Amino acid sequence: MSDNLTGGASITTNEPLPTPPEEPSKWHSTFLQITQGNAIISVLAVLLALIVGGIMIAFTDEEVQAAAQYFFARPMDTIVAAWDAVWGAYSALFQGSIYNFGAPTFARGIRPLTETLTFATPLIAAGLGVALAFRIGMFNIGGRGQMLMASAAAGWVAFSLDLPWGLHMIVALIAGLIAGALWAGIAGALKAWTGAHEVIVTIMLNYIAFYLISWMLRTPGLLQAPGSSNPKTPPMKDTAIFPELFGPQYNLHFGFILVIIATIIVWWILSRSSLGFKFRAVGENPNAARVAGINVKNMYIIGMLIAGALVGLAGVNQVLGTITTGFSSDIDASIGFDAITVALLGRSTPWGTFAAGILFGAFKAGGFAMQAAEGVPIEIVTVVQALIVLFIAAPPLVRTIFFLPSPERDQRRREKAREKQLKAEAGAVLK
């Protein structure tokens, strides 16, 4: 019912007001929160990439190709051959990265899992550095250069100094973190003081670091092993090497513990500290952050210093944990670039990056087993990783394929319903 006052008289209309749109139920709201969140998109992106990878495995399998020649006569032969090829490949991937069911003992069975964590350790560390830079609005693609400089600093301390066990490892670790931080800090300082774009700067720093380390590896008295003409360092001294976590039968080392600690620290910085609030404010809108009194230039420099130290931790892991017999200029093993994918899959969150690093570590560990057991090219794993990035970058495509509700469409629907209700109420009042 509505009243309209005209000349002091009250006119009552008998037309009912339009019914307001119903509020979604609790379960419907929960469903929308799950299906419209970033986590479900990441999970479905991985699933889609595995499906496309399975199709590629089936099409490239020789038995499937042979059975396809008489597909119309006996179609089930092709289908069964394709299923066997995909199942065998992904089974080998699982057993090479998680648990080997054919192992005689449990200790041997979990060795693939430890290999996954070993591969994941530098990926997580470098991914955290890239993710932190993302949160302050900077695209840190200089992971390769930062890893190389950290590896060189930590490696030089590890093979040239004579220090007690424990202290030697700590000094080498700190040297690597400082080198990575300073190398990334160059990009942060140039961004803050001159406005130079960090993408261009970090790309150039990658080249500078690579050729600088290559020169040092060929120069006696710097990084090159004494009495050798090969561009390789001497072995790391035992007092500087990360200890093994579960004994000599496993490659997993103390670096994984350091990565867990680093993840907790980054989570605390971003979620619980005033510095993290400033990082997020600058990343969302640097102009608004500047108006609010935040020193944006300092945030760029501090953020890149921390990001470089995290990426440097990946380089330290390589020389003190994974490759302790001496390293060359390819010590980064493309981890600096893979870290970008890890950070994207993890949505630039600490624990998301941690999980994404373990997933990509599983791909690396299981890819070799898949190639050895089933003859599937390891490049298939690289394609799957690239597809994950593709689907992560296209959430509307993922939602369309899986018929998920679009948050933008639901928002427009609610706005239209509200606008229609307001127009109806206004029309009822004016009658």
Confidence band for 273, pLDDT divided at 50, 70 and 90? very high
Residue 3 has pLDDT above 80, yes or no: no
Is 132 within the bounds of a domain?
yes
Question: What is the average per-residue pLDDT within 17-35?
Answer: 58
Report which of 304, 325, 354, 312 is spatially closest to residue 135, judged by C-alpha positions.
304
No. of helices (H) and no. of strands (E), the chain: 18, 2
Question: What is the average per-residue pLDDT within 9-20?
Answer: 52
Range in 235-249, 306-320, 367-381 with the lowest mean pLDDT? 367-381
Is 260 within the bounds of a domain?
yes
Q: Which domain holds residue 321?
A: 123-351
Would you tell me the crossing angle of helices 143-160 and 296-317 to the nearest 10 degrees? 50
CB atoms within 10 A of CB 243: 12
Q: DSSP for 219-242?
A: SBTTTBPTT--SS-PPPPPGGGSP
In this predicted model, what pLDDT tens digit does every residue of 292-315 receive, in sequence order? 999 999 999 999 999 999 999 999
Question: What is the average per-residue pLDDT within 217-230?
Answer: 87
Question: What is the average per-residue pLDDT within 242-247?
Answer: 90
Question: What is the average per-residue pLDDT within 21-27?
Answer: 60
Question: What is the average per-residue pLDDT within 6-12?
Answer: 47
Residue 279 has pLDDT above 70, yes or no: yes
pTM (predicted TM-score): 0.84
The token duo for 331 is 């010590």
Residue 103: predicted pLDDT: 87
Residue 389: predicted pLDDT: 83
Residue 396: predicted pLDDT: 83
Confidence band for 10, pLDDT divided at 50, 70 and 90? very low
Give the span between the Cα atoms of 193 and 134, in whole angstroms.
Answer: 19
Is 312 within the bounds of a domain?
yes
Give the span between the Cα atoms of 68 and 65, in whole angstroms.
Answer: 5
Which of 37-41, 95-99, 409-413 has the largest mean confidence? 95-99
Q: How does the average pLDDT of the chain come out, rounded?
A: 87
Is 33 within the bounds of a domain?
no
Report which of 361, 386, 408, 406 is spatially closest to residue 48, judged by C-alpha positions.
386
Is 374 within the bounds of a domain?
no
Question: What is the count of structural domains for the chain?
Answer: 1
Tell me the C-alpha to C-alpha distance, in Å, between residue 43 and each of 150, 193, 252, 414.
Answer: 33, 40, 27, 28
Residue 1 has pLDDT above 50, yes or no: no
Residue 20: predicted pLDDT: 55
Is 287 within the bounds of a domain?
yes
Range in 191-195, 206-210, 217-221 with the lowest mean pLDDT? 217-221
Q: DSSP for 42-85?
A: HHHHHHHHHHHHHHHHHHH-HHHHHHHTTTTT-HHHHHHHHHHH
Range in 220-229, 260-269, 283-292 with the lowest mean pLDDT? 220-229
Question: What is the average per-residue pLDDT within 280-293?
Answer: 92
Give the span between the Cα atoms of 183 and 181, in whole angstroms.
Answer: 6
Residue 17 has pLDDT above 60, yes or no: no
Pick the residue with more confidence: 29 or 58?
Answer: 58
Is 227 within the bounds of a domain?
yes
Confidence band for 11, pLDDT divided at 50, 70 and 90? very low
Give the span between the Cα atoms of 3 and 327, in whole angstroms.
Answer: 85
CB environment 379-403: b (16+ within 10 A), e (fewer):
ebbeebbebbeebbeebeebbeeee
Which amino acid, 194? T
Is 190 within the bounds of a domain?
yes
CB distance 145 to 311 below 8 Å: no
In this predicted model, what pLDDT tens digit does every residue of 129-155 receive, in sequence order? 999 999 999 999 999 999 999 999 999
Q: Rounded to 10 degrees, what is the CA torsion of 207, 209, 210, 211? A: 80
Confidence band for 25, pLDDT divided at 50, 70 and 90? low
Residue 413: predicted pLDDT: 67
Range in 21-30, 42-51, 317-326 with the lowest mean pLDDT? 21-30
Give percent of the chain with pLDDT exceeding 90: 59
Q: DSSP for 314-367?
A: HHHHIIIII--S---TTTTTTHHHHHHHHHHHTTT-HHHHHHHHHHHHHHHHHH
Question: What is the average per-residue pLDDT within 316-330?
Answer: 90
Confidence band for 39, pLDDT divided at 50, 70 and 90? confident
Residue 202: predicted pLDDT: 95
In this predicted model, what pLDDT tens digit does every residue of 83-130 receive, in sequence order? 999 999 999 999 999 999 888 888 889 999 999 999 999 999 999 999
